[in-house]
Amino acid sequence: MRTMSARAEAPDSGERILILSAGVGSGHNSAAAAVQQACAGRTDIAEVQVLDVLQVSSVLYRALLGKGYFVLVEDLPWLVEWGYDISNPPFRRRGPIDPWTRVNSSPVISAIKRFRPTAIVCTHFLPAQLLATLLLRGVIDAKTAVVTTDYDFQGLSLTGAFHKIFLAREEGKVELMALGLPPDRVAATGIPIKKQLSPAPVRDATKPPMLLISAGASGGDYAVSVVRQTMHMRSDFTATVVCGRNDALRQRIEALVASAGERYTVLGFTTEMPQLLQRADLFVGKPGGLSASECMAAGLPMVLVNPIPGQEVRNGDYLMEQGAAVRCNAAATIGWKIDEVLREPGKLQMMQAAAQRTGRPDAAANVLSELLGGPSRPLVVTRAAQRTILAASEQRFVATDLTGPSSLVRLVDQVSGSTVALLQEEEVADLQKRHSTPDGELVLRRSQASPLRHWEERRLLRAMLRGEDALPVRVEGPAEPFRDLPG
């Protein structure tokens, strides 16, 4: 397959940004829409295209990945948690994408070739894994970003080749740096959310607190229990209940609150959710990554109910750690829990302030700035280095603890100063045999790669050289994970 040359056109015609998502839930597509909105605020971007990779896949593939996930969430939540935990260690799965995924990715590859992007942003691990394969094969020559959409880092998001990975919080950056990832390739920007163009309304302290009860975009039945419990609360409040696309749920809740007068407003799917977040005083619902990030940006604390095992439970842990949320583990105590927040003097205000501190409303714009202004060469993590990172993760080591031939080293571009590869120490020794100059410098040349034995080396050179003849690099050990962090 031919390497695209779109990046050479960028200075004259402007950047061409392709945003790849996957419609497993609404969060990944919402993050993609946020990045698309941020593109509109830049004068150096000529064209933007958003593609949900599942929408161009086969019906069976789309059903299994999209609908199948939520069937498991509803009926076998323990299996979802097991799957999250088993896939969480970085690089547990190595090598090329599986044949079924490869077949279903053909339309995505065709779309990339037609659009000829200069930069690609992935808000789901599926397209991120595909792009790593394309970078290593020399099929694309675009800057690639992996954007995570939950507060806890999940190992599936880490691929063998990318330009930058964007995490929701600083702890995720520390984790990846501790495993050996270079600080110039990891950024903690927050989760991209759409910015509100109109000023936020001032909450009226003289009115009863407004609860925003969300059943999610698909309308989860747990909202019935939430509403029923709020009807037993002692505190004065009003509530807006958003039932998503579940009309049957909306009708059930309307019947349930019919006797409560004007205290409750019941809505179906609404495009006014951003405005509701700005007007509400307390959110009651699931801690999805995008929902939580939008609440934090609005300074809106959360009462967490019915989290999906795995990522949503971990999202909730982080929000509670920040003081911006409380969690209800039993449906029968939801009303009491909300009452506790509303009746304790200053409690709600403290939680609102904590939410405001946690919010990252500029995440989408920062993702674009760091990607487009960052290194032009990808970071390549060799298969051997991936094994080292997985072992370090499982043994609870940090990269600087590792010694011997399997320990990590970095190749740094001498011109730009950016890290271009992570390798095992013995791999570098092998490179030095063929690529060292008479004066002791290391200059990687495609022509000097071993033609038979060193397939991994050829992949490495193909991705880093990008059609150029030579690349002078220097060898460095792994950085201390805390050295490059502020404070």
Q: Where are the beta strands (DSSP E) in 189-297?
A: 210-214, 238-242, 264-267, 282-285
DSSP 363-394: HHHHHHHHHHTS-SSPEEE-HHHHHHHHHHHH
User: What is the structure's pLDDT at 203?
Assistant: 66
User: What is the structure's pLDDT at 316?
Assistant: 96
Phi, psi angles (nearest 5°) of residue 333: -110, 5
Say if CB 62 and CB 87 are below 8 A apart. no
User: What is the structure's pLDDT at 486?
Assistant: 56
Joined tokens for residue 244: 């998503």
User: What is the structure's pLDDT at 4?
Assistant: 38
Joined tokens for residue 312: 């949503």
Say if CB 284 and CB 224 are below 8 A apart. no
Positive or negative, the Cα torsion across 93, 96, 98, 103?
positive
Side chain identity, residue 213 = I
Q: Which stretches of the chain score pLDDT less than 50?
A: 1-11, 452
Strand pairing partners for 147?
166
Give the length of the chain: 487
Closest CA to 370 of 1, 23, 35, 40: 35
Positive or negative, the Cα torsion across 186, 416, 419, 478?
negative
3-state secondary structure of 206: coil
Bridge-based pairing of strands 408-413 and 470-476 is: antiparallel
Per-residue burial over 379-413, b = 16 or more CB atoms within 10 Å of its CB, e = otherwise: bbbbbbbbebbbebbeeebbbbebeeebbbbbbbb
Neighbours of 240 (CB within 10 A): 18
Strand pairing partners for 379?
162
* Phi-psi map region of 273: left, alpha, beta (phi>0 left; psi -120 to 50 alpha): alpha
Domains of the chain: 1-195+362-374 (3.40.50), 210-360 (3.40.50.2000), 377-477 (no CATH)
What is the H or E stretch that residue 128 is in?
Answer: helix 125-137
Joined tokens for residue 471: 């690349």
Closest CA to 148 of 164, 134, 160: 164
Neighbours of 349 (CB within 10 A): 12
Chain-centroid distance, C-alpha 385? 23
